[in-house]
């Protein structure tokens, strides 16, 4: 057991839980715990695990960046677990009257929320907020930094089709520089034994990232993770045109021929059709993009349950 001090309280974390409250980054989750989360997500998908619920609990969502998949699936996941859902939008919240994010989180905690799910443009914000409140926070995507719930659903989807992560060749292609998905996925997949490589324009790579030759690299790829071009985070001049990007780094019908027949094509969404991939590729049997969305609900059920109940902490003194 490890001891951790939070404001006004001291906690013991149960065995296997090595870090702080909440789920902030893949680096804080051990291989054993990732496997446990994936098993639980599979259980929910198979219609089991009804006793692992959050009946009577309250999950609060606070998204200050746009989202369809993550927000809707956390909402659905919480509802399927039997929890009440509070949905706070930055634009209509008292943040617009000058209230701080810490006070906003404390307010939701005081109302009795059992968990906060936060998406924000600032990298590291959930870990920072966690120092100020005593209910778990789940990172639903923070700036360029981490997207642990997307990572978990990606792992779940890969595990459904590939027997093992060990020695799997995973290629992450596109806008690596601005992608929290790339950071979380690469870290988790390497931890699980996969070989991860990157492809894309130099202007969209973090400094000193080794890249592989596109499209030649496709022939050795078991899993291709295409990334959305994050136009909202990009400076001017990183790309000459979207059309040129598609021709040089897109998954065109021609490039698709290079990919092994049993490979998987993933994309976190939303997809820029005709940019990261040709329209027709989306419906190719190797594309598991719709399956990823479906799995997102079950992966997030597992995260919510684990954050609120599974990562149970025992209060030992006030």
The residues of the shown chain that bind ligand CP, judged by CB under 6 A, are 67-70, 141, 150, 268-270
Shortest Å distance, C-beta 164 to ligand CP: 25
Q: Which residue's CB is nearer to ligand CP, number 149 or number 255? A: 149
Q: Which residue's CB is nearer to ligand CP, number 130 or number 184? A: 184
Shortest Å distance, C-beta 167 to ligand CP: 27
Decide if 130 contacts 137 (C-beta within 8 A).
Answer: yes
Decide if 260 contacts 284 (C-beta within 8 A).
Answer: no
Q: Which residue's CB is nearer to ligand CP, number 66 or number 280? A: 66
Shortest Å distance, C-beta 69 to ligand CP: 4
Q: Which residue's CB is nearer to ligand CP, number 150 or number 157? A: 150
Close Cβ partners of 175 (under 8 Å, ≥ 6 residues apart): 200, 204, 227, 228, 229, 230, 234
Instruction: State CA 91 to chain mean position distance.
Output: 24
Degrees to nearest 5, angle at CA 62 with 61 and 63? 115
Q: Which residue's CB is nearer to ligand CP, number 201 or number 268? A: 268
CB neighbours of residue 10 within 10 Å? 14
Residues 292 and 260: their CA atoms lie apart, in Å, by 20
Shortest Å distance, C-beta 294 to ligand CP: 13
Close Cβ partners of 11 (under 8 Å, ≥ 6 residues apart): 3, 4, 5, 21, 313, 314, 315, 316
> How much of the chain is helix, strand and coil, in % rounded to 5?
40, 20, 40
Residues 87 and 64: their CA atoms lie apart, in Å, by 11
Q: Which residue's CB is nearer to ligand CP, number 123 or number 195? A: 123
DSSP reduced 3-state for 6: strand
Shortest Å distance, C-beta 173 to ligand CP: 16
Shortest Å distance, C-beta 225 to ligand CP: 12
Q: Which residue's CB is nearer to ligand CP, number 72 or number 258? A: 72
Decide if 283 contacts 132 (C-beta within 8 A).
Answer: no
Q: Which residue's CB is nearer to ligand CP, number 69 or number 178? A: 69
Which residue, among 185, 157, 170, 164, has the nearest Cα to 293 in the 3D structure? Answer: 157
Q: Where are the beta strands (DSSP E) in the chain?
A: 2-6, 9-13, 58-63, 84-89, 115-120, 137-142, 169-173, 195-199, 223-226, 264-266, 313-317
Q: Which residue's CB is nearer to ligand CP, number 109 or number 187? A: 187
Taking phi over 0 as left and psi of -120 to 50 as alpha, with beta for the rest, 257 belongs to alpha
Shortest Å distance, C-beta 175 to ligand CP: 13
Shortest Å distance, C-beta 28 to ligand CP: 19
Q: Is the peptide bond before 215 cis (omega within 30 degrees of 0)?
A: yes
């Amino acid at each position: 057991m490890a001891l951790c001090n939070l404001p006004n309280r001291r906690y013991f974390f149960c065995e296997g839980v090595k870090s702080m409250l909440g789920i902030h980054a893949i680096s804080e989750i051990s291989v054993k715990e990732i496997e446990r989360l994936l098993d639980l997500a599979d259980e929910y998908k198979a219609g089991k695990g009804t006793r692992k619920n959050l009946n009577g609990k309250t999950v609060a969502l606070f998204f200050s960046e746009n989202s369809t998949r993550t927000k809707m699936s956390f909402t659905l996941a919480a509802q399927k677990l039997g929890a009440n859902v509070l949905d706070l939008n930055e634009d209509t919240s008292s943040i617009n009257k000058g209230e701080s994010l810490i006070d906003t989180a404390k307010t939701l905690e005081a109302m009795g929320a059992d968990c906060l799910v936060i998406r924000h443009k600032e990298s590291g914000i959930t870990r920072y907020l966690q120092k100020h409140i005593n209910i778990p926070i789940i990172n639903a995507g923070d700036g360029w930094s981490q997207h642990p719930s997307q990572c978990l659903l990606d792992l779940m989807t890969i595990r459904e089709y590939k027997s093992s992560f060990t020695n799997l060749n995973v290629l992450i292609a596109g806008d690596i520089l601005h992608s929290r998905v790339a950071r979380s996925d690469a870290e988790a997949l390497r931890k699980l034994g996969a070989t991860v490589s990157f492809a894309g324009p130099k202007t969209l790579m973090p400094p000193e990232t080794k890249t592989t030759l596109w499209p030649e690299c496709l022939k050795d790829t078991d899993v291709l993770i295409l990334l959305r071009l994050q136009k909202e985070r990009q400076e001017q001049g990183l790309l000459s045109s979207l059309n040129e990007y598609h021709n040089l780094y897109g998954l065109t019908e021609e490039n698709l021929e290079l990919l092994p027949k049993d490979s998987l094509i993933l994309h976190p969404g939303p997809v820029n059709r005709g940019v990261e991939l040709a329209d027709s590729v989306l419906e190719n049997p190797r594309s598991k993009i719709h399956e990823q969305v479906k799995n997102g609900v079950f992966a997030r059920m597992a995260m919510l349950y684990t954050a609120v109940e599974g990562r149970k902490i025992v209060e030992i003194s006030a």
